[in-house]
Each structure stands twice: as C-alpha cells, then as structure tokens.
C-alpha cells in the first residue's frame, strides 16, 4: 500500500491518492477495497478483480482534505515543528467468501522540493519542506551490525534517538549498505528525522543486460511501494559515488564508453524512470555526489560530479591540518566528510585480549579496514596534541584511544561549522552551503571507524560535539590571517537578538576570565552573519595575555528573551595546539552524585584549574552525559547522566564513574586512585 500527497497551496488543501497492491491468494477473487482516514472521517472505495497469476494494483479515487474543514496538521522535520501522524487503513473484502484483509499504516502530510536555481557561479542545491528552506544537519547511516539478525528495533531506536538528541534532522542511508528495517523509517517518522534514501548500489560498475535490469526494476518497485508512504523519506538517490567513478575512471578500465553507456541504462533509463513512474511526491537524484541539473545537461555523467558550484560533494583529506579552513571546499551541500577515531577501551576490550592492547598491534591493524588509517589518525593527532609517552603500556593505549576521539571531534567540528557559516556566504561563486552530513553515524563492529557512535550505541566525543555544532543557534569562531572572526548562525524562522560574551581565560586561573567583552548583535532568520573580528595580537594586548600558549577564549550567548529559543552552546577557540598549552593539574574530583527524576543522575565536579577535554566514563552502565569532552572554566561544574538502564543506583554509578582530562594524558598519575566521590 502506498499513497501520494499533493498539496494545493492556493486553497490549503491536500489531495490523497492511495494505491493498493493486492497479491491474490486464490485463483480469482472479486471484492471491494476501502481506504479510510478515521481521524478525518473520510474514505475512498473501488471494486477490484484479482487473479493468482498476477499482482493487482488498485488506484483509489482521490481523497480531498480541506484545511478549513479537516484541519490537517503538517508534518515537520525535527526542529521546525511537530510530527503528527495519521492512521490510514485499507480493507479488502471478498464479495464471495466475505474474507477480509486489513492493513494500517501511519502517514504524515508534508511537501518536499529540491531547489536548484541559478545563482552566482552555478546552481543552488537545497531542500524545502512545506515551503521552508531547511539546512540539513546529520550523518550517514551504515548497517548497524555485521549480523542483521542482531539489529533489533531497540538498537535502531537508540541510534536514531541519539541522532535526534544531537540536533540532527537528517540521516543518509548509504547506498553501500542495505534497505533498512521497517522500524527504521517508522521511528524516523516519529522523531522528525528526514531520510536520504539511496538505492543499494555503491562504488562499483554494474551490468546492464536485460535480465539484470529487470531484476533492478522489481527491486526498485518493491522498495518504493514499501517506503514511499513515510513522510521521513526526503529523496531517492540512485547510487553512491558511481557517477564519480565513471566520470573519473577510478578503476582504469579501457572501454570507458561502454561503462558510461551501462551507467545510463541502469541508473537513468531503469532506476530513474521507475522512480518517476511510481512516486512524484519527492525528488530523485541520479547519484551522490552529483551536480544535479548540471549532470543531466551533461548527459547524466558530469565532468566534475564533485563540483562546489552544483549539487552535493563528498570530501576527505587525511593529511591537512583539519583546523585550517582554507583546505575545505565551499560547496552547495556536503553529504559526506569525515575522519576516523578509535572506540573507548571498554568497547575494544570486549573483543580483544591483553596482548592486543597497543596502537599498532596485529589485531588493531586487522580491525582497521581503511588503508593507512592508524597512521593517519596518529599524524592528525600529532598536529593538535602531545602524543602520550607513558611507561605503562595499558595507560598509553587508553590515552591514544582518548586522543583519537578528541582529534576527530575538533576536526569534524571545524569542518561542520565551516559549512554552517557558508549558508549565507558566497566566495567567487562558491558557498551558499545548505547541508552538512558527516561520515559516519554508527559502527558495524568494535573497530577504528569514522563513526560518532560506537558499536553498541555509546557516544564518542564527536557525538557530544555534534550536539553543539548542530544546535539551532551557534556562535562559531575561526582564525584567518592572524585575525579571529566570529559568526552567528541561526536556523530559526525569526530574527533574534543575542547578547554575546567573549571571555579570555588564562590557563593559570579558574572562575575569573582575564578579559570579558560583551555586545549585542542581531541575527536574521535562517542566516549566518559575521558579528565580530579582532586581530589576535591586539586581542592579546587588550587582555594582557602573554602569548598563544597561555590563554584560551570562550564564546557564550543568550537571546534577548522576547522569543523562545533553544539553549545556545558555549564555544571555545584554542589559540595554539594543545601540545603547547600551559596546562596546570586541575585535580578534578567527583564531589557528589544524586538521583533526579526520569532515571537521571546529577554529577557535581570540582576543579582547581582550567581543564580541556574533560571526559566522563560510566563503565558498563549504558547511557550518555549532558556534556562530555568539554572545557572546565569554573571550580564547580554540574553534568547530568542519562541512564539507559533501569534500576541503577547512586552507588552503582559511584563505583563505575571516572573522570579525566587532557592533563592526565600528558602526565603520569601520582597515585593510583585519582578520583574520589564524596557523599
């Protein structure tokens, strides 16, 4: 059963076209098909004749829902409104045997457009939902386990809920994986997460003989009929990276013309034509990355499918300094980008033994499925941190796990904020970026991967950072030519006035910044604007900061109070590599843990000095923290632990909870028990 929604913007009405696919269980059957929307008291009916020899499609008369009569509530992506879902029930009744078959699905009312209009340098590429431009924020989904029978509805819900909790509004179901379980799409409907749905073709050349094409038609038809009623499904995409592989001849084939012809036969003549024949309620793109309309003009294989001026891009660079924004593209839409990190020790130790616990051990290299991946992580980490030199092999290994996560977090933060700042910026035809979907969301097994969630669903440091850099409003700093620039970025649908506070801190002090600068700034709806800039040398003179290694700066903001806005996260800018920062021992203690409602725990920390990358671990107790990997600037800090397991007591969490910071990686512990909990 599927349906097609057509919105009539002039009269604010919805036209519901229901298609029912009937697989007849007897040689011949006559009956009636009735579709009902109980919430609105409307129905559509048709008579049908079906036979066992073929599948019967029934097109029911269009149902019209008028706004002034039916008051249809529109389905919105997360962050833009609610997600009302309505039961649509179809009943088939055999007029001879009176046998009845019924199916109910939940549908939402929403309209989707992909906007590709002429702008400086090329074409725009962004999505409108219900006529509102949406900056897409999310990550790429891969299969959640190497053994699909272990992927339960609870596993899927945990990953998607973590996406929603990190302020994402989209998940791209990558074409190198699988068509996901029904619950994946139903949960996305509930949470307001849009799905970029690819057909399962990726990074390779496929045949184009008629037998294979016929099989593909059946596959595509089945998936569209199965999934098209979900309001979360934003777009159909033909494949992952195959246009690029053909255009640039990745595999060095000799008869490239043949492969180009086969590409068009499969993805355009077969998949695209099948999609357009079955579903006109959402857009189709032939590949990702691709140049969209420009690709079509070039015969469906663009000369540069990864262009900044059209469509979407995939971008990976494992050798650049990730904090130098000059190395990043300025695309219309970034649908893949990422760097690797290692999971926490508890996750790796569950599948390894003591002899494996070193960074370049044979088992660590066996689990690394990206060429030179461990070397790349190490080199990127060296750019920003001291490499640990502990004499204790286990501590050294744990420290490296921590540092790869810290490095990945700051790198993807820098790139993601770069794309968000570009939503209102054009540089020589580049920019006007309207999407940031990093690679990748989840892990298929315990190993070094690009994910922000570990195998099992634990949050890496990156996922905590994503919750901040995907917030509806962010204050985003970056350095260029020795000047510090500050941008405010807002996804809100209304203008907002913000009070911006810039605090410059000395690593030698806590509680009190050495300099505070405050100002009011206006941020237009759905925009990014530069709100402040300062030469860094002059900033140091203003603040009496000795040099880059002695200070750090934070940016916090609050709205004027006239409109209800979500919390705006505090951002931080490090003037130098953390290898050079003049850190003091923060002596972080866990002062208290108390149980609060909804299976949550309030944790109070005490510190004697500023502490970067403060990291809390809950041992074997599953859950997440309200913040993690953060900078402590106050003597007392409170964090909430959201426990995912019932019946956990305060004493249980006291036994499991640990806290560390970057200082602990740089130094050997003075004594074994470095963390205490006071009652």
With H, G, I as helix, E, B as strand and everything else as coil, classify residue 269: helix
Tell me the H-state helices in 101-176: 153-165
Tokens of 333: 């839409």
CA distance 287 to 236: 9
Tokens of 195: 């799905």
Q: Tell whether the model's pLDDT for residue 565 goes beyond 90.
A: no
Residue bearing the bigger pLDDT, 181 or 2:
181
pLDDT score for 675: 41
CA distance 353 to 347: 12
Yes or no: domain 474-578 corresponds to CATH 2.60.40.10: yes
Q: Tell whether the model's pLDDT for residue 431 goes beyond 70.
A: yes
Q: What share of the chain is helix, strand, coil (3-state, %, to 5)?
A: 25, 35, 40
Q: How many helices (H) and strands (E) does the chain have?
A: 16, 37
Give the tens place of pLDDT for each residue, 123-148: 999 999 999 999 999 999 999 999 99
pLDDT score for 96: 86
Tokens of 134: 């949406």
C-beta neighbour count of 351 within 10 angstroms: 13
CA distance 15 to 208: 38
CA distance 452 to 458: 9
CA distance 142 to 144: 6
Give the tens place of pLDDT for each residue, 631-669: 999 999 999 999 999 999 999 999 999 999 999 999 987
Query: pLDDT band for position 475 (50/70/90)?
Result: very high
Give start-end residues of each CATH 2.60.40.10 domain in the chain. Answer: 14-107, 474-578, 589-666
Q: Which residues does residue 8 pair with via DSSP β-bridges, in sequence order? A: 13
Q: Is the pTM of this model over 0.85?
A: yes
Question: What mean pLDDT comes out for the span 36-63?
Answer: 89
Sequence-distant (6+) residues with CB within 8 A of 561 are none
pLDDT score for 673: 42
Name the residues annotated as catalytic.
241, 336
Question: What mean pLDDT comes out for the span 600-617?
Answer: 98
CA distance 460 to 165: 14
**CATH ID of 589-666, from 1.20.1090.10, 2.60.40.10, 2.170.190.11, 3.40.50.620:** 2.60.40.10
pLDDT score for 5: 55
Give start-end residues of each CATH 3.20.20.80 domain in the chain. Answer: 128-470
Query: pLDDT band for position 23 (50/70/90)?
Result: confident
Q: Tell whether the model's pLDDT for residue 158 goes beyond 90.
A: yes
Tell me the H-state helices in 179-241: 182-191, 210-227
Specify whether the CB–CB gap between 5 and 18 falls below 8 A: no
**CATH ID of 14-107, from 1.10.1530.10, 2.30.42.10, 2.60.40.10, 3.40.50.300:** 2.60.40.10
Which of 6-15, 88-97, 182-191, 198-207 shows the lowest per-residue confidence on average (mean pLDDT)? 6-15
Specify whether the CB–CB gap between 595 and 515 falls below 8 A: no
pLDDT score for 50: 86
Supply the mean pLDDT for the chain: 95
Query: Which residues of 461-575 form beta strands (DSSP E)?
Result: 473-480, 483-490, 496-506, 515-523, 527-535, 551-559, 571-574
Q: Which residues does residue 29 pair with via DSSP β-bridges, in sequence order? A: 50
Give the tens place of pLDDT for each residue, 497-521: 999 999 999 999 999 999 999 999 9
CA distance 473 to 490: 4
Specify whether the CB–CB gap between 315 and 329 falls below 8 A: yes
pLDDT score for 157: 99
Q: Tell whether the model's pLDDT for residue 677 goes beyond 50.
A: no
Counting every residue written for the chain, the total comes to: 679
* Angle at CA of residue 590, ends 588 and 594, nearest 5°: 155
CA distance 613 to 629: 4
Q: Phi/psi at 431 (nearest 5 deg)?
A: 105, -150
C-beta neighbour count of 386 within 10 angstroms: 17
Q: Phi/psi at 584 (nearest 5 deg)?
A: -105, 160
% residues pLDDT > 70 (the chain)? 97
Dihedral sign of CA atoms 628, 597, 77, 174 in order: positive
**DSSP summary character for residue 272:** I
Q: Tell whether the model's pLDDT for residue 11 goes beyond 60.
A: no
Which is nearest to 466 in space by CA: 642, 629, 344, 314? 629
Specify whether the CB–CB gap between 246 and 191 falls below 8 A: no
Give the tens place of pLDDT for each residue, 89-99: 999 999 888 88
Give the tens place of pLDDT for each residue, 50-76: 887 778 888 999 999 987 788 899 999
Q: Tell whether the model's pLDDT for residue 670 goes beyond 80.
A: no
Q: Tell whether the model's pLDDT for residue 679 goes beyond 50.
A: no
Which is nearest to 168 in space by CA: 73, 232, 86? 232
b/e burial code for range 113-132 (CB count within 10 A of at least 16 → b)? ebebeeeebbbbbbbebbee
CA distance 143 to 160: 13
Looking from the CA of 473 toward its CB, the CA atoms found within 13 Å total 26
Strands 334-337 and 630-632 turn out to be: unpaired
Q: Tell whether the model's pLDDT for residue 10 goes beyond 80.
A: no
Which is nearest to 657 in space by CA: 610, 605, 608? 605
Block residue for tokens 């604010």: 12
Give the tens place of pLDDT for each residue, 349-390: 999 999 999 999 999 999 999 999 999 999 999 999 999 989
Query: pLDDT band for position 295 (50/70/90)?
Result: very high
**How far is C-alpha 23 from the geometric centre of its chain's CA atoms?**
38
**How far is C-alpha 118 from the geometric centre of its chain's CA atoms?**
28
CATH homologous superfamily of 128-470 equals: Glycosidases (3.20.20.80)
């Amino acid at each position: 059963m599927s349906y097609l929604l057509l919105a009539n913007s002039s009269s604010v009405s919805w036209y519901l076209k229901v298609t029912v696919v009937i697989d007849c269980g007897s040689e011949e059957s006559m009956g009636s098909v009735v579709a009902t929307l109980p919430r609105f008291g409307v129905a559509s009916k048709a008579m049908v004749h079906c036979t066992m020899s073929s599948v019967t499609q029934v097109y029911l008369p269009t149902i019209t829902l008028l706004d002034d009569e039916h008051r249809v509530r529109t389905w919105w992506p997360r962050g833009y409104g609610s997600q009302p879902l309505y039961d649509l029930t179809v009943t088939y009744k055999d007029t001879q045997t009176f046998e009845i078959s019924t199916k109910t699905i939940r549908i939402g009312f929403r309209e989707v457009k992909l906007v590709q209009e002429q702008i400086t340098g090329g074409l725009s590429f962004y999505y409108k939902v219900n006529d509102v431009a949406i900056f897409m924020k999310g990550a790429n989904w891969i299969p959640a386990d190497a053994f699909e029978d272990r992927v339960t509805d609870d596993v899927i819900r945990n990953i998607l809920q973590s996406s929603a909790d990190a302020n994402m509004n989209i998940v791209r179901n990558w074409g190198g994986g699988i068509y996901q379980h029904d619950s994946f799409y139903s949960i996305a409907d509930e949470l307001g997460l849009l799905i970029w749905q690819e057909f399962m073709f990726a990074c390779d050349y496929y045949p184009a003989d008629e037998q294979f094409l016929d099989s593909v038609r059946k596959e595509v038809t089945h998936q569209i009929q199965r999934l098209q009623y979900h309001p979360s499904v934003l777009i159909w995409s033909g494949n992952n990276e195959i246009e690029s592989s053909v255009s640039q001849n990745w595999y060095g084939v000799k008869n490239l013309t043949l492969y180009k012809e086969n590409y068009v036969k499969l993805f355009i003549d077969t998949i695209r034509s099948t999609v357009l024949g079955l579903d006109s309620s959402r857009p189709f793109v032939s590949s990702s990355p691709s140049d969209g309309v420009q690709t079509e003009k070039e015969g469906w294989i663009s000369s540069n499918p990864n262009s900044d001026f059209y469509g979407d891009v995939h971008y990976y660079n494992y050798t650049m300094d990730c904090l130098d924004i000059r190395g990043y593209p300025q695309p219309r839409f970034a649908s893949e980008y990422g760097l690797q990190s290692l999971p926490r020790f508890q996750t790796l130790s569950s599948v390894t033994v003591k002899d494996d616990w070193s960074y370049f051990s044979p088992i660590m290299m066996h689990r690394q499925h990206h060429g030179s991946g461990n070397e790349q992580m190490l080199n990127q980490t060296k750019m920003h941190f001291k490499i640990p030199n502990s004499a204790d092999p286990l501590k050294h290994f744990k420290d490296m796990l921590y540092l790869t996560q810290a490095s990945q977090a700051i790198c993807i933060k820098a790139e993601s904020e770069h794309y968000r700042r570009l939503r209102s910026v054009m540089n020589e035809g580049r920019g006007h970026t309207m999407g940031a979907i990093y690679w990748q969301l989840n892990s298929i097994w315990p190993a070094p991967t690009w994910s922000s969630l570990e195998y099992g669903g634990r949050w890496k440091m990156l996922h905590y950072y994503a919750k901040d850099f995907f917030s509806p409003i962010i204050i985003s700093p970056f350095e260029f030519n020795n000047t510090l620039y500050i941008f405010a970025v807002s996804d809100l649908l209304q203008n907002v006035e913000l009070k911006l506070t810039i605090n410059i801190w000395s690593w030698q002090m806590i509680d009190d910044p050495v300099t505070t600068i405050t100002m009011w700034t206006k941020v237009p709806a759905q925009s990014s604007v530069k709100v402040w800039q300062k030469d860094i040398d002059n900033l140091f003179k203003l603040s009496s900061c000795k040099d880059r290694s002695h200070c750090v700066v934070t940016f916090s903001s609050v709205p004027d109070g006239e409109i209800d806005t979500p919390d705006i996260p505090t951002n931080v800018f490090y003037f130098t590599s953390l290898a050079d920062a003049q850190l003091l021992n923060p002596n972080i203690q866990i002062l208290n843990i108390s149980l609060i409602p909804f299976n949550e725990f309030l944790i109070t920390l005490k510190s004697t000095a500023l502490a970067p990358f403060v990291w809390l671990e809950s041992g074997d107790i599953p859950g997440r923290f309200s913040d993690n990997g953060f900078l402590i600037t106050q003597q007392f800090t409170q964090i909430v632990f959201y426990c995912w397991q019932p019946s956990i007591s305060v004493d249980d969490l006291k036994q499991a909870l640990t806290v560390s910071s970057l200082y602990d990686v740089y130094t050997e512990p003075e004594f074994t028990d470095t963390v205490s909990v006071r009652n």
